[in-house]
């Protein structure tokens, strides 16, 4: 049965974060499985799947007002104007009413509802209360992990019967060899002479990301691991937390540059207290870089025995593990090999096939 899906691609007009990375990967995967997709986006937004970033130039993240107007009225208008059988909102949002066609919403995590700090301002409280009311209109919800499925059961039990689990995928660029030009450029930017151990952190600096633990662990590890470097990719240097010697914050980089950094890294470090999925950890698996991650449900689910997992409040354990893994080349090679095998389950073609089956089931 042929089903045409209207996919909300409005987030791609903003700054590239995890949500946009997943959306771009989903578009790729749906194309690979032959799923017809109509992008639902702001007027003038045109996507070219044949080029990196879908041909979109990075722009500042839309204002809160613009984001809300799109979710409240823009998406519904775009869907009404398109000839689609179903609308998929690939993030936690929904128009304030049921649409004439079935809707699917992907829930990556419930961080705004689990961490009070995200709702300190009245505007945020109002927004997330509205989101919770409006998402109730969705025909089906997709949790990106069993961990997120469990969180939904606890926080929004009324949604639970409509939730299915479809894990996120990893963009094919991370499975492929890195571009040698990008590797050389990254090496030059970081002034790497070659041979020094390099830790890579990719993500934000919000409290749940637990970056202070990583900073403390690296500072301790440098006492026994000469030349240890840490690169933090996620935001501008102006908002990066203070770090130890050898810590270099970078702004968000292109996928090609990030793939090069994975290739240069000795270890990928993921210290989060909470994740809905853990995309950088999964990217590390695909790239063949050993992963050192926090022992939390999402990481256990995604990484299994393909990574070294540590408590979220034990910087001394992290420091010891960093030093040990840097010294033990054979152990790193073993982790990298197991990781590549495990990463095969997270190819976007696999996830897109599950989404396609879900679309057909909701329309039939």
DSSP letter string, 298-322: HHHHHHTTSSEEE-TT-HHHHHHHH
Segments of the chain scoring below 50 in pLDDT? 52-53, 55-56
pLDDT score, position 246:
80
pLDDT score, position 292:
98
Name residue 352's beta-bridge partners.
none
Full-model pTM: 0.91
pLDDT score, position 108:
96
- Which CATH entry fits the domain spanning 172-345: 3.40.50.2000, 2.60.40.420, 3.40.50.720, 3.40.50.620? 3.40.50.2000
CB contact at 8 A, 356 and 35: yes
Parse the chain into domains and list their residue ranges.
Answer: 5-169+347-363, 172-345
SS3 of 167, please? coil
Cα separation, 285 vs 302, whole angstroms: 10
Cα separation, 16 vs 254, whole angstroms: 9
Cα separation, 292 vs 278, whole angstroms: 12
SS3 content of the chain, % helix, strand, coil (to 5): 50, 15, 35
The distance of Cα 37 from the centroid of its chain, to the nearest Å, equals 22
pLDDT score, position 296:
98
Residues in the chain: 364
Segment holding 55, helix H or strand E: none
Cα separation, 278 vs 84, whole angstroms: 32
Cα separation, 108 vs 145, whole angstroms: 8
CB-based contacts of 194-198 (< 8 A; 24+ apart in sequence): 195/227, 196/227, 196/228, 196/229, 197/225, 197/227, 197/228, 197/229, 197/266, 197/267, 197/326, 198/229, 198/230, 198/231, 198/264, 198/265, 198/266, 198/267
Instruction: Indicate if 172-345 has the same CATH topology as 5-169+347-363.
Output: yes
Q: Does domain 5-169+347-363 have CATH number 3.30.420.40?
A: no
pLDDT score, position 239:
55
Q: What is the DSSP letter of 72?
A: I
pLDDT score, position 363:
92
pLDDT score, position 253:
87
Cα separation, 34 vs 308, whole angstroms: 37
């Amino acid at each position: 049965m042929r089903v045409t899906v209207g996919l909300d691609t409005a987030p791609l007009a903003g700054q590239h974060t995890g949500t946009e990375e997943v959306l771009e990967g989903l578009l790729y995967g749906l194309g690979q499985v032959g799923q017809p997709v109509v992008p639902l986006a702001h007027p003038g937004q045109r996507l070219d799947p044949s080029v990196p970033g879908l041909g979109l130039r990075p722009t500042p993240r839309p204002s809160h007002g613009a984001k809300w107007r799109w979710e409240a009225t823009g998406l519904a208008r775009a869907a009404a104007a398109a000839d689609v059988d179903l609308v998929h909102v690939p993030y936690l949002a929904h128009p304030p009413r049921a649409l004439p066609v079935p809707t699917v919403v992907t829930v990556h995590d419930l961080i705004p509802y689990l961490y009070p700090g995200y709702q300190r301002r009245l505007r945020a409280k109002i927004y997330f209360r509205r989101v919770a009311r409006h998402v109730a209109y969705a025909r089906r919800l997709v949790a990106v992990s069993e961990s997120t499925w469990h969180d939904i059961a606890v926080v929004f039990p009324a949604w639970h019967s409509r939730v299915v689990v479809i894990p996120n995928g990893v963009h094919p660029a991370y499975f492929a060899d890195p571009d040698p030009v990008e590797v050389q450029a990254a090496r030059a930017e970081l002034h790497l002479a070659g041979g020094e151990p390099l830790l890579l952190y990719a993500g934000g600096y919000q409290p749940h990301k637990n970056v202070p633990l990583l900073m403390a662990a690296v500072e301790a590890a440098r006492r026994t691991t000469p030349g240890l470097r840490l690169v933090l990719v996620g935001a501008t240097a102006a908002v990066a937390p203070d770090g130890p010697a050898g810590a270099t914050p970078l702004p968000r980089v292109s996928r090609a540059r990030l793939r090069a950094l994975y290739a240069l890294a000795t270890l990928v470090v993921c210290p989060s207290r909470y994740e809905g999925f853990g995309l950088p950890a999964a990217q590390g698996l695909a790239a063949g870089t050993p992963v050192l991650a926090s022992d939390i449900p999402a990481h256990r689910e995604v990484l299994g025995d393909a990574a070294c997992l540590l408590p979220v409040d034990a910087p001394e354990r992290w420091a010891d593990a960093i030093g040990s893994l840097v010294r033990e080349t054979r152990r790193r090679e073993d982790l990298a090999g197991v990781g590549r095998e495990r990463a095969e389950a997270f190819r976007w073609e696999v996830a897109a096939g599950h989404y396609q089956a879900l679309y057909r089931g909701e329309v039939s």
